[in-house]
Amino acid sequence: MSTPTLQHPPAGPKPERPGGGLLDAKVPASALPLALRKLDPRIMWRNPVMLIVEIGAVWTTFLTIRDPSAFSVLIAVWLWLTVVFANLAEAVAEGRGKAQADTLRKAKKDTTARRLLDGGREEEVPAGELRRGDVVVVEAGQIIPGDGDVIEGIASVDESAITGESAPVIRESGGDRSAVTGGTRVLSDRIIVKITQKPGESFIDTMIALVEGAARQKTPNEIALTILLAALTIIFLVATATMQPFAIFAKANNPGVADGAALDTHGVTGIVLVSLLVCLIPTTIGALLSAIGIAGMDRLVQRNVLAMSGRAVEAAGDVNTLLLDKTGTITLGNRQASGFLPVGDVTEEELADAARLSSLADETPEGRSIVVFAEQTHGLRERHPGGLDHAEWIAFAAQTRMSGVDLEDRRLRKGAASAVADWVRAHGGEVTPALGDVVDGISAAGGTPLVVGEATGGHARVLGVVHLKDVVKQGMRERFDHMRAMGIKTIMVTGDNPLTAEAIADEAGVDDFLAEATPEDKLAYIKAEQDGGRLVAMTGDGTNDAPALAQADVGVAMNTGTSAAKEAGNMVDLDSDPTKLIEIVEIGKQLLITRGALTTFSIANDIAKYFAIIPALFVTLYPGLDALNIMRLSSPQSAILSAVIFNALIIIALIPLALRGVRYRPSSASSLLNRNLGVYGLGGVIAPFLGIKLIDLLIQFIPGL
């Protein structure tokens, strides 16, 4: 007997997503026009720090036009470059997504849909006219016109336009693999799809908006940091505004000071004060803050994960508890044969041969695994007993819970222990007590026992037991150790009995498990964790997972799952890989660490720039301040210009780090803090001293300085 199967084309390598490398000159070159367009004050007001820099650049330009000098021209140029470089960081981050968006738009074609009407009639309509609740027919070779659920039929679908994976997938009505995505192609058979999307809100539309940055809203942490940076800017603005009155007062009380002291002649004073303000306010993190957020979303999209909000990405970085389904996530999902345990005087090879023959008609994954295991362990592939051509094959059925084969002089059955035991007794045999001990031992170990029986003539007997086990995926223990080092508690969720669940949990290395879990149990567990002040993440794909996905701080729905699950979660994994939740958490932590590290670096930078500009500003009034000029810069003008140039160049230097992210290493919060303070805090202090001094050595010979 045979079962019809869907034919799949051979899987090819997964194509790389477009985008350019960080060092590719084409990336910043293509982003430059967008960076210049962002100079519009109506756009700049969203970044208060850089808006102040732009206002300062405008004022400096006005003073330079009124009274030009080499110093004022160079200051004006570098202030404008500072603003452009800040916009370039954001534009490069957005530009990397635009390349992906262009590819996605190719998948969003003007498709014609075959909409079903009452009475079974069809009408052809543009896909853009479909509304939620419409029912369409899609056959082999046609494009699915919109996101929806398969309500009738089964088909092989090419989703490479969405996921980048060339291997087709099966979509069928019922169950948790009914969802289809608009823009994908049906390769075989015929399906009827109920549209679940609203016009303009398909997954492709969502992905395009996300990768272009158009749908990105500032997260709560990002808003809080923006407010902090704005507050620091106001403080430095007030402090800078007092410098000129202070200089006038100080010169009035120091009659011996020359007229050119404190750089207050030739219209330069306003330029110096603007330079001081720009160098002291946190321009570095102000310039890179938006790019860091966009890059975090981009890293998720590159892994085929749609984050419906930036809040979810940040929450992933703070997650304390992970809920992971056992089947398909921690284990392979299909129980596989792992051993043959004979009973009585039966040899293991005899049991393996009988188990293989009785499983040839079993099309379940368990049955196929028995055939493969017998062939691998006992070399039975080439053995064909006589009479096989006239055999009567007994397919596995849920009613009988057995499969087998009837030969001319021998009958074999394999299946559930009670079913095979009853079959043996019905054919005149007896079941030895030893069978119960073997079956109970396998069950206690978390496995599934399948008994093999044989009947010859008027005699029947039990040959032994096949040990099936849900195989834990390779490397899962190491990944859970990795999570534990990050301070994250892992919980395995399963419908298995506690005994089986405990065995799998011990083998996989999770911290705890939730056995015989119902949707209510999952929801209650998540609420209990949240009541304890912990953030929870989980994955799911079924309608029964929707309440828990909605309650979780990070709910990752599988794209193959139901529409209810995808609407309840705040992330959708287009690859439908439940283990990707671990990567999502790492991306979230990397986003938070990158933002914190560059904020630390930016604030530390100001210390060195303070030592460059303040002594240069007042050394002629207060010679004692020369002790603070520890870099021994060549002149006040050179010191100020060097600090402004460094302030602009450091933004460009840090763009690759902002887009790539600071490398995350699992460790405690205190260790991460110490590392950031050591690397980015101390580095932020040292780098400007070296950079400003080097720039001073290069520009000191410019005429007019």
The answer on whether 402 is annotated among ligand-binding residues is yes
Please state, in angstroms and rounded to a whole number, the distance separating the CA atoms of residues 264 and 537.
60
Which pair of tokens denotes residue 694?
Answer: 């080097």
Print burial letters for 129-154: b (CB count within 10 Å at least 16), e (below 16).
Answer: ebeeebbbbbeeebbbbbbbbbeebb
Please state, in angstroms and rounded to a whole number, the distance separating the CA atoms of residues 498 and 512.
11
- Contact criterion met (CB below 8 Å) for 579 and 595: no
The secondary element (H helix, E strand) that includes residue 424 is: helix 417-426
The answer on whether 444 is annotated among ligand-binding residues is no
Rounded to 10 deg, the angle between the 580-618 and 636-660 helix axes is 180
Print burial letters for 369-386: b (CB count within 10 Å at least 16), e (below 16).
Answer: bbbebbeeebebeeeeee
Q: Which of 125, 102, 121, 99 is nearest to 113 (CA)?
A: 125
Print burial letters for 214-224: b (CB count within 10 Å at least 16), e (below 16).
Answer: ebbebbebbee
Q: Which residues contact 554 (CB under 8 A, 6 or more apart)?
A: 312, 315, 316, 319, 535, 536, 537, 538, 570, 571, 581, 584, 585, 588
The answer on whether 207 is annotated among ligand-binding residues is no
Task: Give yes or no: 158 in active site.
Answer: no
Q: Which residues contact 698 (CB under 8 A, 6 or more apart)?
A: none
Mark residue 535 as left, alpha or beta (left: phi above 0; alpha: psi -120 to 50; beta: remaining): beta
The answer on whether 516 is annotated among ligand-binding residues is no
22 phi, psi to nearest 5 deg:
-65, -25
The answer on whether 226 is annotated among ligand-binding residues is no
Please state, in angstroms and rounded to a whole number, the distance separating the CA atoms of residues 32 and 229.
25
The answer on whether 399 is annotated among ligand-binding residues is yes
The answer on whether 410 is annotated among ligand-binding residues is no
626 phi, psi to nearest 5 deg:
-60, -20
Please state, in angstroms and rounded to a whole number, the distance separating the CA atoms of residues 197 and 182.
9
The answer on whether 580 is annotated among ligand-binding residues is no
The answer on whether 414 is annotated among ligand-binding residues is yes
DSSP conformation class of 667: -
Please state, in angstroms and rounded to a whole number, the distance separating the CA atoms of residues 129 and 127.
5
CA atoms within 13 A on the CB side of 662: 22
Q: In a 3-state reduction of DSSP, which class is residue 633?
A: coil
Catalytic residue among 325, 353, 553, 606: 325
468 phi, psi to nearest 5 deg:
-100, 140
Q: Which of 512, 585, 515, 523 is nearest to 552 (CA)?
A: 523
The answer on whether 184 is annotated among ligand-binding residues is no
What's the per-residue H, E or C state across 94-157?
Answer: HHHHHHHHHHHHHHCCCCEEEEECHHHCEEEEEHHHCCCCCEEEEECCCECCCCEEEEEEEEEE
The answer on whether 550 is annotated among ligand-binding residues is no
Q: Can you say which residues are annotated as belonging to the binding site?
A: 362, 366, 396-403, 414, 541, 545
- Catalytic annotation, residues: 325
Q: Can you say which residues are annotated as belonging to the binding site for ATP?
A: 362, 366, 396-403, 414
Q: Can you say which residues are annotated as belonging to the binding site for Mg(2+)?
A: 541, 545
